[in-house]
Structures are given as structure tokens and as C-alpha cells.
Amino acid sequence: MSRADALRPEGVRRRSPLWTLGLLGSELAVTVRRWRTLALLGVLAAVPVLIGIAVRIETRDGAPVGGGNGEGPAFITQITNNGLFLVFTALAATLPFFLPLVVGVVAGDAIAGEAGAGTLRYLLVAPAGRTRLLLTKYATVMAFCLLATMVVTVSALLVGALLFPLGELTTISGTRIGFTEGLGRALLIALVVAASLVGIAALGLFVSTLTNSGIAAMATTVGLLITVQIVDQIPQLHAVQPYLFSHYWLSFADLMRDPVYWDDLVKNLGLQGLYAAVFGSAAWARFTAKDINA
């Protein structure tokens, strides 16, 4: 640092509004460089491999999947006809638990983990700005929802293409669509699944502003996920079920109808948006007023 720099008066430092995005880039890189994140993504990538190999072995002698009883995740019986269905099966298998678990871990750790490590105080005196830091964390967690879903999708697509034939496919409604359109729908489904995770991500981020322990925030978020899944299974509680973030998750299958049945899809996206707004605001209110003692 030169003497001239040190003596430069306040306010002379010119800056570009784009510089503020540097934190987002750094945040994305730091999230993905953690071993924990990589391990979780590895587990997600392994799920389609396991399903693909299991189906391949079971149907080696031409027998139908699950003995033809229609058991197992959605679309699993179709995989042998078309590898593309492995994408739908893998997403249907990971969406109830693996995907939200991974997102919950990353979201829960977002603020609380930094607080626990003490790095939060240095980010804030840098100064990252509390609202800016929270928005950056929020954007990163959302991006991670998409990344996690894409890992499952791409892995399933590769395994499906390797182990099974590709080509035209039959929709739930019984019509046949071309492979390209099928691929387009698969990507659309991946986007909807990623958007389905926004609710738990917002919830996790809010929990993360409540504590200075990353582990506590992750455990609470995952605990809430399990609780919500259980409540969603109890018929006597049907009055609250439409408000649970997981209630319309499996509506993504409606994208495989012809024509597409939009009702539940729209309800799902609206619900996720509601969670994002409510818990995003709560996280902001909490984080901007909080004493940082860690």
C-alpha cells in the first residue's frame, strides 16, 4: 500500500455496481468446494446408477420390473423400454427425501455455519452488508437446488442412455411423443423439481439465522422435513396438508400427461413461492436485527 493510497480521502474510491456480485461468485465457489457438499452430490449422482443397475439386473431375463405388480417409484416399469424414464424415476425417488435433505443441509449451514466458524463477523466487517449477504446466501441456496436436481438428472440421463434403449416414449395419457420432446419434458421436470425445493431451502435459511451452530440448523431443517412428510401422510390432518411444502411435490409427473395437467403444478409452484416469501422475510427480519456474538 502506498502512502498516496493511505492518504486518499474518503469517497474517492470509485466503484462499479457490478463488484457487488463478487460475493455471489465467491459464495457459489465456497459452497461447491466443501467436501460435505461434494459428498452429498455424489450420493445424489449414485441414486440413478443404483436404480439403473437394479432394473437392468432384474429384467435381464425379460421379466417385468417388480414382478409386474406396479411396485416401486413412478415410471420404473417403463425404464426398460426407454432410458429416458430413468430420469423421471430417479427424480421421483430422490425428491421425497434425498434432494430436500441435501438442500436442507446446505441451507441450514448457510448462515449458522459461518457464525459457528467465526467467519461471519469478518464477512460483516468487510463489510458484506447484512441484506446483501443474506440475499447472496439465498441466491446461492436456490442455485444449489438447481444444481442438486441437475446432478440427479444428468446422472440418470447418462445411465439411462448406457443401459437402456432410447427413442419415442409413451406418456401417462397413452399418447406417444418423440425423443426430443421427451428430453424437453425431462428438462422441464428437472426445473419443476428444483423449484419444488425452494420451500425447504427458504425454511432452512431462516432456521440458519436463529442459531450459531451449523449442525443444529441442519438437524432442525432435516427434522422439519421429516415431520412435514409424516404429517402429510396422516389422513386426519388433511386440513393442513395443502399448506405443507411437500404436499404437491410429486405433481411433476403431470408434465408427462398429454395434454399437461397444470392444476397441481401451479399449486406447487405457488406454495413454494409463498414459503420463499414468508421465510425469506422472516430470515431478513431476524438477520438484520441480530447481535453477532460469534
Closer to another protein at the Cβ: 175 or 288? 288
Closest CA to 107 of 145, 153, 147: 145
Task: State in angstroms the smallest separation of the CB of 288 from another protein.
Answer: 10
CA–CA dist 213, 230 (Å, integer)? 26
Distance separating alpha carbons of residues 109 and 217, to the nearest angstrom: 6
Q: What is the DSSP string of 167-197?
A: S-EE-TTS-EE-HHHHHHHHHHHHHHHHHHT
Shortest Å distance, C-beta 204 to another protein: 20
CA distance 78 to 72: 12
Q: Name the residue nearer to another protein (CB basis): 20 or 171.
A: 20
**Secondary structure (DSSP) of 223-259:** HHHHHHHHHTT-GGGTTTGGGSTTTTGGGGGGGGSSS
CB 279 → another protein: shortest distance, Å? 23
Contact 257, 173 (CB under 8 A): yes
Query: Least distance in Å: CB of 105 to another protein?
Result: 16
Given the complex with another protein, which of 128 and 195 has the nearer CB atom? 128
Indicate the residue among 91 and 134 with the shorter CB distance to another protein: 134
Residue 207 CB, nearest approach to another protein (Å): 20
Q: Pick between residue 30 and residue 240 the one whose CB is nearest to another protein.
A: 30
- Residues of the shown chain interacting with another protein in the complex, contacts defined by CB under 8 A: 1-3, 5-8, 10, 13, 15, 19-20, 22-23, 25-26, 30, 33-35, 117-119, 121-129, 132-133, 289, 291-293
Q: Cis bond leading into 9, ω under 30°?
A: no
CA distance 116 to 213: 5
Is there a contact between 87 and 153 (Cβ–Cβ < 8 Å)? yes
- Closest separation between CB of residue 38 and another protein, Å? 10
Q: Which three cell numbers stand for residue 210?
A: 436463529
Kindly state the smallest distance separating residue 106's Cβ from another protein, in Å.
15
Cβ closest to another protein, residue 4 vs residue 239? 4
Strand partners, 170: 176
**By C-beta, is 31 or 89 nearer to another protein?**
31
Q: Which three cell numbers stand for residue 169?
A: 416414449
Report the sign of the C-alpha dihedral through residues 214, 217, 220, 221, in that order: negative
